[in-house]
Structure 1
Amino acid sequence: MNEQLFSAHLTLSKLAPTDWELIRSIYSNPALMQHIGAAMSEEEIRRNFEKELAPWSLDSTHWLTWIIREAATSSDVGLMSLCTRRREPLTAEAGFIIVEAHKGKGYATEALQLVFDFAASTYGFKVFTAVCSEEHAASRRVLEKAGMKLDKIVPENTEIAGKLVNDCFYSLEK
């Protein structure tokens, strides 16, 4: 599998052991996790990190994760992940987290489109899905700019910080 993907402004590198500090800083940060779930303990983060370092295939139950970096500076931008959700049609769920310093630069959209193209051509994914909370307007814009369409909004579907939130379900067919 390609270890790196390249776009005009970004380099995406498959998750590596050297990415531990970035992953720990993302998943333990309440501000970055506010629309995803509770900030995680170091033990939870380590457990997930170790799973995602394992080799990945269409049959894997863990996420295939890339670290997003600015091509020009090598600065850490965030992460992008895919996970197989269905075999017929072959469907992947996408997820991403962008660090504060790089929000609003269009990097999430650029990385998402890059990963969709790679996953469709390399693995044969036909459909991509994503879920985000209705109140997370920035993520909704990213998904829509990447070509995804809103399929449905499910009221009070996920609990985040002790509050039930509405989830938006998006999809894109390739």
Structure 2
Amino acid sequence: MKLETPQLIMTPITQADWSLFYALHVTPVVIEKCFDAPSEEELKTKFEARLKGWTPESDNWLTLVITEKQTHQKVGITGFFLDDGIAEVGYLFMPEFYGKGYGTESLRAVINWAKDECGIDIFKAVVTAGNIASERVLEKCGFTLQEKIPDAYEIGGKKYADHIFTKEAEVK
């Protein structure tokens, strides 16, 4: 599997991507509006689960590594978890690649692939209140805010609302 956009290439995560995966889950500016840093043991378990081959029947995430075409530098990860026909999307980027439009470009490619190759029509995303950049990416990709759940998630000892976004894939 390989997804390509004008600026990016997305391929399934491999063992060689551990350092990127690790950095994305412990770098304070990356995780500050997402989650608390997991223990190394938790992170290794999560990584191993992401390495399993993915099919629509899988009970694990499809995780794709995002690479810049021009520099061949790995910039982040994206993907989704399929539950009862609804794909919950997610993405994380290294901070030096913020503001380049990669979130929107990669998410559009993932949604198009999921629709075309897997017949997935409904997508959702859960964003921690205050993560404005992630909300903007979702809105640019056609997601709409459906629900705010107060005090749903705790990061650094502080409670945050979850913002639930959804999107139905367009018929081409």
TM-score when scaled to structure 2? Answer: 0.95
Q: Which one of the candidate residues 143, 147, 169 is aligned to 2:138? A: 143
* Offset, 1:124: 0.9
| Equivalent residue pairs, number | 169
- 1:46 matched to 2:44: yes
- RMSD, matched Cα: 0.9
Q: Which moved more, 1:28-37 or 1:47-56?
A: 28-37
CA offset digits 1:137-162 (Å, max 9, x no partner): 11100100111111111111111111
Q: What letter is aligned with 2:67?
A: R
* Offset, 1:31: 2.0
Residue 127 of structure 1 corresponds to: 122
- 1:170 matched to 2:165: yes
* Offset, 1:41: 1.9
Output the CA distance in 2 between the equivalents of 1:25 and 1:42: 11
Residue 7 of structure 1 corresponds to: 5
Q: What letter is aligned with 1:117?
A: N
CA offset digits 1:100-142 (Å, max 9, x no partner): 0000110000000000000111111110000101211111001
Residue 116 of structure 1 corresponds to: 111
Moved over 2 A (4+): none
Residue 30 of structure 2 corresponds to: 32
CA offset digits 1:66-92 (Å, max 9, x no partner): 011111111121110200122xxx210
Question: Is the Cα contact below 8 Å between 1:157 and 1:164 reproduced in 2?
Answer: yes
Q: Which one of the candidate residues 23, 26, 44 is aligned to 2:21? A: 23
**Helix, strand or coil at the partner of 1:168:** strand
Question: Is the Cα contact below 8 Å between 1:108 and 1:142 reproduced in 2?
Answer: yes
* Offset, 1:65: 0.2
Q: What letter is aligned with 2:127?
A: C
**Helix, strand or coil at the partner of 2:80:** strand
TM-score when scaled to structure 1? Answer: 0.94
Question: Is the Cα contact below 8 Å between 1:10 and 1:69 reproduced in 2?
Answer: yes
Output the CA distance in 2 between the equivalents of 1:47 and 1:134: 27
* Offset, 1:38: 0.7
- The answer for unaligned runs of 5 or more in structure 1 is none
Question: Is the Cα contact below 8 Å between 1:93 and 1:129 reproduced in 2?
Answer: yes
